[in-house]
Amino acid sequence: MRAIVTAEPGGPEVLTVADLPDPVPGPGEVLITVAAAGLNRADLLQRQGFYPPPPGASDIIGMECSGTIAALGDGVSGWAVGDEVCALLAGGGYAEKVAVPAGQVMRAPAGVPLVQAAALPEVACTVWSNIVMTAGLRPGDTLLVHGGAGGIGSFAIQLGKALGATVLTTAGTADKREFCRALGADEVIDYHDEDFVEIARERGGADVILDNMGAKYLSRNVDALADGGRLTIIGLQGGAKAELDINALMRKRASVIGTTLRSRPTDGPRGKSAICAEVVEHVWPLVEAGKVRPIIDGVFPLEQAAAAHERMTSGDHTGKLLLKASRVDA
């Protein structure tokens, strides 16, 4: 197979094409012929050498893909060669073939072209597991989504609305704010010039906050929470270390939670398989009804992974970036 490799850590130019042996699916795994792989912000860190794959995972970058099942490992049931799927990967997505535990494979939602389905696994699993499974979002709640125009954010706005929440979001430019409004956000906040704390408080505070900034926003996020609110931190774009006013948290009976999807085990009640199963049960019907859709900024040929990384680094994108395997037409 052809795959994108990095001879050494560095800028986008270190991403080059190589011919490698096809992966062999182990017991409990399936082999997928990749239609497309999704880019994630963590891929930029992995390329720079700051985010190594979990033990045992492929060194090849790529945490999600869509494609067709090409082979089944021992003991796999419920899947057949030829099934159209998308999958959450611990690594290996920037390639023509990838092996993945069967529990991390989801059927491709009906009505979504197979290439576009590569935009869904990371955002659907991250957003669902955080705002619903972890933070318990309910209809009528106020959800604050930071970075609403990004891959995660654009999905979180749509899912929050589909679940009956009032959605507030932050974005950096007028175009991106317009984009967030078009996705259904009730209030879009300019993170350069406006105070999201004040705006959240005017609405009684946020019941749930999905945060990508970490340290930089910690104290303001706690200030923006409603009584009993839940702050789920999934990104560290604003650093990893900050002071927390525990008294403020206690007065509100609020919670601060941090999660990463990649480090979760495959199995167990909060493992990746359990999350994938919930996503297929609860999120795919919303996708199939057109209430939540993949938002795709651009599709690059696999060989142009460096250009796709440059686009994500620029921050000019809205929604997801994909790498399409060159033999795929759609």
The footprint of ligand NAP on this chain (CB under 6 A) covers a number of residues equal to 27
64 touches ligand NAP (CB under 6 A):
no
Q: Does the protein bind ligand NAP through residue 261 (CB under 6 A)?
A: yes
Residue type, 229: G
Type of residue at 313: T
**Burial class of residue 243, CB neighbours in 10 A (0-12, 13-18, 19+):** exposed
Close Cβ partners of 24 (under 8 Å, ≥ 6 residues apart): 31, 99
Query: Which lies closer to ligand NAP via its Cβ, residue 5 or residue 152?
Result: 152
| Residue 145 binding ligand NAP, by CB under 6 A | no
Can you tell me the distance from the alpha carbon of 189 to that of 73, in angstroms, rounded to the nearest whole number? 48
Binds ligand NAP by CB under 6 A, chosen from 228, 260, 267, 289: 260
Q: Which helix (H) or strand (E) holds 85?
A: strand 84-88
Distance CA 167, CA 145 (A): 7
Contact between 41 and ligand NAP by CB under 6 A: the answer reads yes
Q: Which stretch binds ligand NAP (CB under 6 A): 6-14, 16-24, 86-94, 168-176?
A: 168-176
* CA proximity to 211, closest of 245, 257, 149: 257
Site stretch for ligand NAP (CB under 6 A), options 51-59, 131-139, 256-264, 280-288 = 256-264
CB of 277 to ligand NAP, least distance (A): 17
Terminal CA-CA length for the chain: 20
- Report if residue 98 touches ligand NAP, rule: CB under 6 A: no
Please state the closest distance from residue 83 (CB atom) to ligand NAP, in A.
Answer: 25
Q: Which residues bind ligand NAP (CB under 6 A)?
A: 40-42, 122, 126, 146-147, 149-153, 170-172, 176, 191, 212-213, 234-235, 237, 259-261, 312, 315
